[in-house]
């Protein structure tokens, strides 16, 4: 087993640093420290947690250029891509939870039936799991580490996170940022290594595991977590569909397709990887795509749309999908060209669903285009996938576009826009099918990093209750009458009349301090609309 890992720049392949792999014994010590810190953090009022974590906005803005440079060097992204795809979403999420976390996590009182639960109150609350283990990917190492990390912290948890072995300097950058905040010692910890280190993290039994990665990685982690067992949230791959109807604004749709398919050189889980275009505008739209693709620039000059490949291993998948499509009759805007770590984007058309490029996640700068006839066919084609992460629908008929969107088997959708919906901090994000399960972002995302505790408080001074022992045939008849009174047919007065004898078992509720509650209940009954 390797004892250390080298961090390599995706821009020029120079060594950025050498890092010791975190040993199992160190992870165990980190888990012990995180548990102590998490207890302190969970006891910290939500308002104080929010105030402390919100300071990260200032810390990021103060060093935004240096942060951009580090991420660009590690990932190979162009700097505008870093700003918009890595930094902005984190700031947006921080701002959203700064405004909303206290409300979202507040205890929730519930109404109680004055007959079944007299003089009682009910509520439920959210409690943090404890320590969350986060395993993040190499394609967006800043955003896809910090987003779940911050969500876990806002909801009161400690965190141990492992970045991809391709993204170690970004993990160090994150630690430098969070160390500027006055947090309990050991609350956030970074471990270094590959798949085996991730296995060690899970075997140290965090209370929740959050993973962003491919399907194979998700299955392996889920199987490992099941041995303990530990709940998991999986944000896995996608094969996102873009549906363009012939009444769409084709210029806007074409520009969106360029961004949706080729941003970050296609290394985005919500990249457009299947483009379906209605037959009436198919030929015209394919020509527009070819012309637009030819204008895209590659590199890190003063202008550059597509940066370098973060992982050269991914090129083998892109090449295999390209060659398979060409062999099966697809046409291409150009040969597949890779210059060093830079891959030129390619449009493929006349593709079919028996081609790998339409079935498997490519994660690279290929855009396959296929024609459809009817609305129903478009929906069928889009749903014919093992994945279900995101989708976009393009039409000037908003009613139709939203009707189609609501029939797609995805966790997220957008009409007349692409990818941007994922950046909305208030919208829960996650997939269905092989794209995973669980959500982050929004209120639902924050609550997913907590568990629910429910409570009922009785203030009754009675010595017993009608549902307590002893049981008898008489008690059976009384309770049967009570159930018919609550749930049976007819007006209230009819249900009272036919169950009057059974309801005498509840007369005790009118005694002592419960008398007012009984009187209020009778007033409630006789004011009901069904009386």
Q: pLDDT (tens digit, 9 = 90+) per residue, 230-272?
A: 999 999 999 999 999 999 999 999 999 999 999 999 999 999 9
Strand residue runs (E) in 24-130:
108-110, 120-128
DSSP 283-320: HHHHHHHHHHHHH--BSSSSS-SB-B-S-THHHHHHHH
The gap from C-alpha 415 to its chain's centroid, in whole angstroms, comes to: 20
| Rounded alpha-carbon distances, angstroms, from residue 165 to 173, 197, 235, 237, 388 | 14, 10, 19, 19, 27
* Spatial contact of 299 and 342, defined as CB atoms under 8 Å apart: yes
Asked if residues 346 and 322 have their Cβ atoms less than 8 Å apart, the reply is yes
Q: Is the pLDDT of residue 521 over 60?
A: no
Nearest to 370 by CA among 270, 285, 292: 285
Question: What are the pLDDT digits (tens) for 315-348?
Answer: 999 999 999 999 999 999 999 999 999 999 999 9
Q: Which pTM does this prediction carry?
A: 0.93
What's CA 437's distance to the chain center, in Å? 8
Q: Cis link prior to 288 (omega < 30° from 0)?
A: no
Out of 70-74, 115-119, 217-221, 390-394, which region has the weakest mean confidence (pLDDT)? 115-119
CA 448 from centroid of its chain's CA atoms: 9
pLDDT tens for each residue of 120-130 = 899 999 999 99
How much is the average pLDDT of 146-154? 98
Collapsed DSSP state (helix, strand, coil) of residue 160 = strand
Query: DSSP labels for 381-446?
Result: HHH-SSEES-EEEE-S-HHHHHHHHTTS-SS--EES--SGGGG-TTS-B--EETTEE--BSHHHHH
User: Region 167-194: what's the mean pLDDT?
Assistant: 97
Omega prior to 229 cis, within 30 of 0: yes
Q: Give rounded-to-5 percent helix, strand, coil for the chain.
A: 45, 20, 35
**H or E segment to which residue 186 belongs:** none
Decide: 254 and 285 in contact? Cβ < 8 Å.
Answer: yes
Confidence of residue 529 (pLDDT cuts 50, 70, 90): very low
- pLDDT tens digits for 295-314? 999 999 888 999 999 999 99
Among 202-206, 209-213, 302-306, 451-455, where is mean pLDDT lowest?
302-306
Active site members = 235, 269
* Alpha carbons 270 and 265: distance in angstroms, whole number: 12
Q: How many angstroms separate the CA atoms of 327 and 521, rounded?
A: 77
The conformation of residue 85, written as its DSSP 8-state character, comes to I
Q: All domains of the chain, ordered by start, with CATH?
A: 4-9+25-236+444-453 (3.40.605.10), 240-423 (3.40.309.10), 466-527 (no CATH)
* Residue 514: pLDDT over 70: no
Q: Is residue 508 over pLDDT 80?
A: no
| Res 503: pLDDT | 87
Query: Residue 53's CB: how many other CB atoms inside 10 A?
Result: 19
Residue 517, pLDDT score: 54
Give the count of beta carbons closer than 10 Å to the beta carbon of residue 77.
30
CB within 8 Å of 386: residues ≥ 6 apart: 239, 359, 433, 434
Whether residue 427 is predicted with pLDDT greater than 80 in this model: the reply is yes
CA 348, chain centre distance (Å): 30
CA dihedral 521, 522, 526, 528 (to 10 degrees): 10
Q: What is the mean pLDDT of the chain?
A: 94
The predicted structure's pLDDT at residue 512:
43
Mapped onto helix, strand or coil, the DSSP state of residue 17 is strand
Q: Rounded distance, CA 474 to CA 457, Å?
A: 29
Cβ proximity of 304 and 78 under 8 Å: yes
């Amino acid at each position: 087993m390797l004892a250390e890992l080298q961090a390599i720049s995706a821009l020029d392949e120079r060594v950025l640093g050498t890092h010791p792999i975190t040993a199992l014994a160190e992870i165990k010590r980190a888990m012990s420290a995180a548990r102590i810190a998490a207890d302190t953090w969970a006891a910290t009022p939500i308002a104080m947690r929010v105030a402390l974590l919100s300071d990260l906005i200032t810390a990021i803005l103060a060093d935004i250029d240096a942060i951009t440079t580090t991420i660009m060097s590690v990932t190979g992204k162009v700097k505008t891509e870093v700003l918009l795809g890595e930094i902005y979403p984190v700031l947006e999420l921080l701002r959203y939870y700064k405004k909303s976390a206290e409300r979202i996590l507040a205890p929730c009182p519930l109404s109680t039936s004055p007959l079944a639960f007299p003089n009682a109150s009910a509520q439920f609350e959210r409690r943090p799991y404890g320590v969350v283990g986060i395993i993040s990917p190499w394609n967006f190492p800043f955003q896809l580490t910090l987003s779940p990390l911050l969500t876990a912290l806002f909801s009161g948890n400690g965190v141990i996170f492992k970045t991809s072995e391709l993204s170690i300097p970004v993990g160090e950058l994150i630690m430098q940022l969070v160390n500027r905040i006055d947090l309990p010692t050991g609350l956030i910890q970074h471990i270094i290594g590959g798949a085996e280190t991730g296995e060690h993290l899970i075997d140290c039994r965090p209370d929740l595991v959050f993973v962003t990665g491919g399907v194979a990685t998700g299955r392996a982690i889920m199987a490992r977590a099941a041995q303990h067992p530990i709940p998991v949230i999986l944000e896995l791959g996608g094969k996102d569909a873009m549906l363009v109807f012939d009444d769409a604004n084709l210029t806007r749709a074409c520009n969106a397709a360029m961004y949706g398919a080729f941003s970050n050189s296609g290394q985005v889980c919500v990249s457009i990887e299947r483009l379906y275009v209605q037959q009436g505008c198919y030929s015209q739209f394919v020509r527009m795509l070819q012309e637009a693709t030819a204008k895209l620039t590659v590199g890190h000059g003063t202008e550059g749309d597509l940066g370098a490949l973060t992982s050269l291993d991914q090129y083998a998948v892109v090449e295999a999908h390209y060659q398979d499509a060409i062999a099966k009759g697809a046409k291409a805007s150009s040969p597949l060209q890779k210059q060093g770590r830079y891959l030129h984007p390619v449009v493929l058309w006349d593709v079919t669903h028996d081609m790998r490029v339409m079935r498997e996640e490519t994660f690279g700068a290929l855009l396959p285009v296929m024609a459809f006839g009817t609305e129903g066919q478009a929906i069928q084609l889009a749903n014919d996938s093992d994945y279900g992460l995101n989708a976009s629908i393009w039409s000037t008929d908003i009613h139709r576009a939203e009707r189609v969107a609501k029939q797609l088997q995805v966790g997220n959708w957008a009409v007349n826009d692409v990818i941007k919906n994922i950046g909305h901090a208030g919208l829960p994000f996650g997939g269905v099918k092989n794209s995973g399960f669980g959500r982050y972002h929004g209120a639902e995302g924050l609550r997913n990093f907590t568990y629910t505790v429910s409570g009922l408080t009785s203030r009754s001074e009675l010595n017993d209750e009608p549902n307590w022992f002893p049981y008898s045939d008489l008690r059976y008849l009384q309770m049967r009458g009570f159930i018919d009174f609550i749930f049976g047919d007819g007006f209230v007065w009819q249900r009272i009349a036919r169950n009057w004898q059974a309801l005498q078992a509840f007369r005790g509720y009118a005694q002592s301090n419960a008398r007012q509650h009984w009187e209020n209940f009778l007033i409630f009954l006789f004011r009901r609309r069904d009386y």
